[in-house]
Structure 1
Amino acid sequence: MTTAPGPVVLRVRAAHDLIARADRPEIWIDLRPRDEVETEARTLDARLAAGEHLPLAGRLLAVKGNIDVAGLPTTAGCPAYAYMPDHDAPAVARLRAAGAIVLGTTNLDQFATGLTGTRSPVHGAVRGAVDPARISGGSSSGSAVAVALGMADLALGTDTAGSGRVPAAFNGIVGLKPTPGLVSTEGVVPACASLDCVSVFARTLLEAEQALGHLITAPAVAAPARAPGPWRIAVPDPAALGELDPGWDEAYRAAAARLEAAGALLRTVDPAPFLDAATLLYDGAFVAERYAAVGEFIEALGTDVPDLDPTVAGIIRRARDIPAHRLFTDRARLAGLRSRALASLGDADALLLPTAPGHPTLAAVAADPLGANARLGRFTNSTNVFGMAAVAVPGGTVSGLPFGVMLIGRAHTDERLARIAALLTPATCIAVAGAHLTGQPLNSQLLSHGAHFVRTTTTAPRYRLHALPTNPPKPGLERVTRGGRVEVEIWELPASGLGGLVAALPQPMVIGKVELADGTLVPGFLCEPAALGDGSRDITAYGGWRAYLAAKS
């Protein structure tokens, strides 16, 4: 008798099928062999079946190509630089220990130098997830797009100047940039070693937070004390932010209004110290640290080498001749700007900013690579030089493209920023048909994630309902070509709660799109086809799970 594949194996197979169908080879540098990944998935399924607690079991992980993954070369986007690591970077090892499975390493702006996602001469520019004519954002481009397209559930990036936030904004996902030093950067090819952070991408805030919780290696440091009362959010007048893309001013104001509607107090702040500090990262002496990281390698490789991106090589080579006295001058200037910036925040819990000032096309970046990159870092460049934490979340859409906002806070306010960011994430409706219905055994899972009941309705006549031999008893909803209408409840929950609900789903439930009687599509609980075999019973004729239970009793 052939054993049906477990949920982790099924997730791995679905991801590989999606990767093949998507035909986006520029996302990946190296994918692990499929049979190797499936073998690891079968082992995880067996461990779960034996009762082992693996909080990230089945989550598929993409890793930026400048972070070590055992068995895969670390290239930093430059094949000539490649080396084979003996072991995983601690950040990768910690997620694997919690049950995550590495799919492969992802493309990036070479040597993590850039915010565009286009500076990869061998692997190609990573196109945006929503509009392939636009950039994906960098330097953690492949990691962000892999998550946005559903190939991976989680991804690791790095963030020195905004590389873990700009790609999140452009692809409609969450990017967590922790307090510097909170997550180990061992096993990471440095960009600016004193500023680098390992960052996390996920489709929901809760999933990103969960992953970050496993990554933290620094000793616990208490968050700065805050005065009691509602969240206090510093919000610059959009006129002080400089030129934004059309519609982005309105989208930014709308995000601020959502925070205010949720009970936050908005306070006007002068963003000048943050914007002035942002220019120091590339225009000042701090860029010399990039030469310290890989300058000798680039010099030895020579010029006109296909593996080297000319823009990246030019930035790093020019940094060689920056005099030492300029670094001390810039450090003194930075200290003054940081004091002004923190004083301007006062007792505010966070600063709300657009993540980027606009979303350029690939053609626009090709025409002006340095100018486009400098504009993209206007709001993100200052965060790490000020030693602050940040989280980037979706803030809506403008002309059909994702618009993102960012919350920046003092060091070690990571959890506080996530709580505020949760107020910005839109609610999600979900359809339930069985054990999650009101009064049923698993309804508490919905309630624990902040869900509230909206209405009762039915599906379109394209579904069949099966009673499954599970404990507790529950049904499986299956979409078919011709079927019946099945009663469902619609619940609304914060988008940040959806990830936690998915993580808690019992086998063989999965999340898919459910078509309702009025033709709308909402996420809903469906059943893995493999579970609809021996022992299940078609109960569609009853019209719903509650009617079936009533008849049975």
Structure 2
Amino acid sequence: MENHTVLNAAVDEFLLKEVTVNQLLSAYEKGEFTAEEVVQAYVNRIEKYEKNYNAFTFMNENVLEEAKKIDQLRKEGKPLGPLAGIPIVIKEAVDVKGFPTTFGWAPLSKDAGGIELMPKNDAPVVSRLKEAGAIILGKTNIPAFSARMDSANTSWDGPTYNAVDRSFSPGGSSSGTATAISGNFSVLGVAEETGGSIQMPAASQAIVGVKTSFDLIPTTGVTPIAGSTRDVLGPHARTVEDAALMLDIMAGYTTDDAIPKELSDKIPEGGYTSVISENALQGMRLGLFGPGWSIKELSAETQELYLGEITELQKAGAVVIEDPFEASGFVDFAESIGDDAARMLFGLDTVFHDLDKYIKNLDPEDDTLSAKSVFERAGQFPWEKDGPLDLFDNTGELIANPQLNLTDFTKARNEFLRIIMGVMEKHNLDGFVFPQMTRSITLLKEGIEGLANFTTTVSELNISGLPLVTVPGGYYENGSPFALVFMGEMWSEAKLLGMAYAYEQATKHRVAPVLVEE
């Protein structure tokens, strides 16, 4: 479909559905549309459907003025960033100057009767996106402290609904970002993950998500759950190419984070989009899900869908290896950490240290800022019984002595990496491809109970710090999305995006949701 056909008359009727970054940039270049017109079209769509989906916590009141500035610069022939005029949304957990940071928790939301915290600076990743010319439409809903992987039901702003079907769980904790992208409220979105929070919403809403290697993207200015061990940022988009374009801006070294400088030669010289290709699966050796990785069983329908997509991968030139983790000791080691629930919490005991550091950085010039002072002012502590951070039996000890001790976590990460890299070497693998969930997603009303049992990669990939790309893989009979995840070694995002792109182009499973008004 030609760009002008996609964009024609979008002011009168929203025809920007499924529009891509390059389609918009091309239309801007040809003078077919202005950023102001595009942004106005998105604002109109959000106003029409937001009450029924609740993707946003805050809208950017200056968004049209920002779009006009981009248009003026373009008119004057001034240099523009690679995302100039592209609408984007930011997860509530990420600091944006001028917007409150609420942690998704009522006591820290002025709108819910709590106190207000205002970050003095943008998170580095937000600064990068702004410098690239992206236009922030608003911030998106999360559960309290991002501490759920099924939904945003505990948010002060109320639940977010799945754009595919309001009855399905939207996935969490990047619930609002996923709904905004899947529902065509925005082109791009910033998501974050500690234990499934990029991949779960992406899989649940038939979009692309990139759970990046630990430390590929700076997480300064992001409300932490496990900032020292597991937290990562990544893109949500409707296409792999758009996710790659976004990752080009987000990734890279900063002195604000302990990110290794050697990353400079891990990022493709021409950017992540330079390595995506429809032929990227040819000759790729991919390991399949099996009992050597997990004792979880796939439902009959998941198995049928998975086998069908394996055939598609083989048609595209991939070579698949059955259960490469057999006799690797992977399952035994994972279970030595604990059951699914225990692995979900592993490494999260840094939260009190990380929270204190984050809150102090909201305004580095304010010596009174600390986690203790903020929660005292709020009149409630999140680690109290049944609070969002009531996670550990020894919470009191962790609060009293919030020092970092990463010895056990580092040992576990290194052992996971040793086993995974050993399997890749033994079978000469380029990566792995699994179904993201063992069964269809839960209904929103069912809640989180047992949800960790339905995922194939949480928390093993979060503890190991490895990357994965989630891609739409079809639909279950009940209409809920099925997704594949492409996984690989540290810093292998380029290779994974290439394979995901080839698969996406060969299958084109995503269907744009039909939204309903209130």
The Cα shift of 1:389 comes to 1.3
Q: Note if 1:200 corresponds to 2:235.
A: yes
Q: Note if 1:419 corresponds to 2:480.
A: no
Match in the other structure for 2:472 = 394
User: Residues of 2 paired with 1:233 and 1:114: CA distance?
Assistant: 31
Deviates more, 1:6-15 or 1:245-254: 245-254
Residues 118-175 of structure 1 show CA distances to partners (whole Å, capped at 9, x for unaligned) of 3424212222111111110011110111011000111101112121111001101000
Match in the other structure for 1:54 = 81
Whether the aligned pair in 2 keeps the contact of 1:357 and 1:378 (CA below 8 Å) is yes
Per residue, is there more strand in 1 or in 2?
Answer: 1
Cα 1:47–1:284 change in 2 (3 A) is closer
Q: Note if 1:210 corresponds to 2:245.
A: yes
Match in the other structure for 1:265 = 319
Cα 1:49–1:397 change in 2 (3 A) is same
Cα 1:183–1:261 change in 2 (3 A) is same
| One-letter amino acid of the counterpart of residue 330, structure 2 | P
Kindly tell me the number of residue pairs found equivalent between the two proteins: 421
3-state SS, counterpart of residue 181 of structure 2: helix
The Cα shift of 1:319 comes to 4.5
Match in the other structure for 2:5 = none
Q: Kindly, what percent of the aligned residue pairs are identical?
A: 25
Match in the other structure for 2:276 = none
The Cα shift of 1:327 comes to 6.9
The Cα shift of 1:313 comes to 3.2
Match in the other structure for 2:111 = none
User: Residues of 1 paired with 2:474 and 2:291: CA distance?
Assistant: 17
The Cα shift of 1:292 comes to 3.2
| One-letter amino acid of the counterpart of residue 270, structure 1 | F
Q: Note if 1:248 corresponds to 2:283.
A: no
Match in the other structure for 2:353 = 292
The Cα shift of 1:28 comes to 1.0
**Structure 2 residues without counterparts, runs of 5 or longer:** 1-30, 109-115, 254-260, 268-280, 357-370, 513-518
User: Residues of 2 paired with 1:116 and 1:164: CA distance?
Assistant: 11
Identify which of 232, 253, 257 aligns with 2:285.
232
Whether the aligned pair in 2 keeps the contact of 1:122 and 1:306 (CA below 8 Å) is no
| One-letter amino acid of the counterpart of residue 235, structure 1 | L
Cα 1:301–1:127 change in 2 (3 A) is farther
3-state SS, counterpart of residue 114 of structure 1: coil
Match in the other structure for 2:68 = 42
Residues 468-520 of structure 1 show CA distances to partners (whole Å, capped at 9, x for unaligned) of xxxxxxxxxxxxxxxxxxxxxxxxxx799xxxxxxxxxxxxxxx9xxxxxxxx
Q: Give matches, 1:524-539, under 5 Å.
A: none
Identify which of 427, 430, 451 aligns with 1:349.
430
Q: Give matches, 1:332-411, under 5 Å.
A: 332-346=411-425, 347-358=428-439, 359-365=441-447, 369-372=448-451, 374-399=452-477, 400-411=479-490
The Cα shift of 1:331 comes to 4.7
The Cα shift of 1:58 comes to 2.1
| One-letter amino acid of the counterpart of residue 384, structure 1 | N
Whether the aligned pair in 2 keeps the contact of 1:118 and 1:138 (CA below 8 Å) is yes
The Cα shift of 1:312 comes to 2.2
Whether the aligned pair in 2 keeps the contact of 1:6 and 1:42 (CA below 8 Å) is no
Identify which of 40, 50, 68 aligns with 1:13.
40
Whether the aligned pair in 1 keeps the contact of 2:149 and 2:172 (CA below 8 Å) is yes
Q: Note if 1:31 corresponds to 2:110.
A: no
User: Residues of 1 paired with 2:416 and 2:242: CA distance?
Assistant: 34
User: Residues of 2 paired with 1:130 and 1:308: CA distance?
Assistant: 36
Whether the aligned pair in 2 keeps the contact of 1:115 and 1:163 (CA below 8 Å) is yes
Identify which of 386, 389, 407 aligns with 1:313.
389
User: Residues of 2 paired with 1:145 and 1:17: CA distance?
Assistant: 16
3-state SS, counterpart of residue 425 of structure 1: helix
Match in the other structure for 1:445 = none
The Cα shift of 1:384 comes to 2.9
Cα 1:154–1:221 change in 2 (3 A) is same
Residues 23-67 of structure 1 show CA distances to partners (whole Å, capped at 9, x for unaligned) of 23621111111xx21111111111122223332122111111110
Cα 1:74–1:246 change in 2 (3 A) is farther
Whether the aligned pair in 1 keeps the contact of 2:96 and 2:123 (CA below 8 Å) is yes
Deviates more, 1:405-414 or 1:301-310: 301-310
User: Residues of 2 paired with 1:121 and 1:59: CA distance?
Assistant: 28
| One-letter amino acid of the counterpart of residue 26, structure 1 | N
User: Residues of 2 paired with 1:71 and 1:105: CA distance?
Assistant: 11
User: Residues of 2 paired with 1:114 and 1:349: CA distance?
Assistant: 32
User: Residues of 2 paired with 1:495 and 1:253: CA distance?
Assistant: 15
Whether the aligned pair in 2 keeps the contact of 1:77 and 1:110 (CA below 8 Å) is yes
The Cα shift of 1:279 comes to 3.7
User: Residues of 1 paired with 2:385 and 2:147: CA distance?
Assistant: 10
Match in the other structure for 1:87 = 121
Q: What's the TM-score once normalised by structure 1's chain length?
A: 0.69
Whether the aligned pair in 2 keeps the contact of 1:287 and 1:319 (CA below 8 Å) is no
Match in the other structure for 1:484 = none
User: Residues of 1 paired with 2:72 and 2:46: CA distance?
Assistant: 25
The Cα shift of 1:214 comes to 0.9
| One-letter amino acid of the counterpart of residue 412, structure 1 | W
| One-letter amino acid of the counterpart of residue 318, structure 2 | A
Work out which structure has the larger RCO, using CA pairs closer than 8 Å and 6 or more positions apart in sequence: 2
Name which one, 1 or 2, has greater alpha-carbon Rg.
1
Whether the aligned pair in 2 keeps the contact of 1:155 and 1:202 (CA below 8 Å) is yes
Residues 175-226 of structure 1 show CA distances to partners (whole Å, capped at 9, x for unaligned) of 01222111111111111012211111011110110011011222445459xx
Residues 289-331 of structure 1 show CA distances to partners (whole Å, capped at 9, x for unaligned) of 2243349559758998899993623226765557999975565
3-state SS, counterpart of residue 159 of structure 2: coil
User: Residues of 2 paired with 1:105 and 1:302: CA distance?
Assistant: 22
Whether the aligned pair in 2 keeps the contact of 1:291 and 1:317 (CA below 8 Å) is no
User: Residues of 2 paired with 1:249 and 1:301: CA distance?
Assistant: 51
Match in the other structure for 1:516 = none
| One-letter amino acid of the counterpart of residue 481, structure 2 | P
| One-letter amino acid of the counterpart of residue 398, structure 1 | Y
User: Residues of 1 paired with 2:412 and 2:491: CA distance?
Assistant: 24
Identify which of 144, 148, 169 aligns with 1:114.
148
